[in-house]
Amino acid sequence: MLRIYQVDAFHHEVLRGNPAAVIPLDKWLDDDKLQAIAQENNLSETAFFLPEQDGAMPLRWFTPNKEVRLCGHATLATAHVLFAEIGITAPSIRFQTLSGILTVERLERGYRMDFPADFGQSIAAPAGLAEALGTDCSITIEGKDDVMVVLPSEQEVAQLQPDFNALLNIPKVRGVIVSAPGEEVDFVSRCFFPKYAINEDPVTGSAHTLMTPYWAERLAKKKLSAWQISTRKGILGCELRNDRVLLEGQASTYLRGQIYLD
């Protein structure tokens, strides 16, 4: 029997933001078992973590079909579980992950995460991307895992209706981020990951490690406000600090439960 929590991350209200499952473990299960649990949960991400080892808690993230190198909302959800549910009293938590050490600090309202920045490079849009998105891709930025397309307005981002089957065929791309200046915040976005069985991710913390350096340079400011304008909506504070991106957000517990395995 395992404990399971479901947390809505990057919003101050339950049933908004991005839901993540969080499962504490005493030791790692087989990878196939971890993947099967994530598939059963059928959320954008399921996070698994172990007790602290050498000053950091091992943390891994799985989509319904793959393990990922970096996940923001499930890291935020895991920190929320540790602080709000399990009762960690330290001011911050260190996680050991595939992206190195990630730190999450408790704030008066919400949490601040310290992630590596992703400084993207301008490229020609991959073949088929404009057709798959149904929009102009003249500004395309390549990051470590994803590509970002920058559009002129929030309205154009909101109105996109991508062909997800066509996005599956874009080579060498994990996911596609579409961003634009915001009407009420500094920038907005939507994020599409059909290769990871997530057509549209409600809120994507990792994507903001690519968007933040871009918008910080374009807007000539280090601290920015952002909305991910999916149906569930995500609210983020972003700051570029040298080669790191600080992401702030709130989270709410939706579910506490138990998993029964053979």
- Return the bridge partners of 148, or none: 141, 177
- Please report, as a single letter, which amino acid is at residue 221: K
To the query of whether residue 131 is one of the catalytic residues in this protein, the response is: no
Total Cβ atoms within 10 A of residue 141: 21
Q: With contact defined as beta carbons under 8 Å apart, do 145 and 61 qualify?
A: no
- Marked catalytic residue, from 40, 45, 52, 248: 45
191: region left, alpha or beta (phi > 0 left; psi from -120 to 50 alpha): beta
Q: How far is CA 112 from CA 92, 103, 210, 245, 248, in A?
A: 9, 8, 17, 10, 4
User: Which residues does 32 contact at the CB level (< 8 Å), separation at least 6?
Assistant: none
Q: Which helix (H) or strand (E) holds 35?
A: helix 31-41
**Which sequence positions are flagged as catalytic?**
45
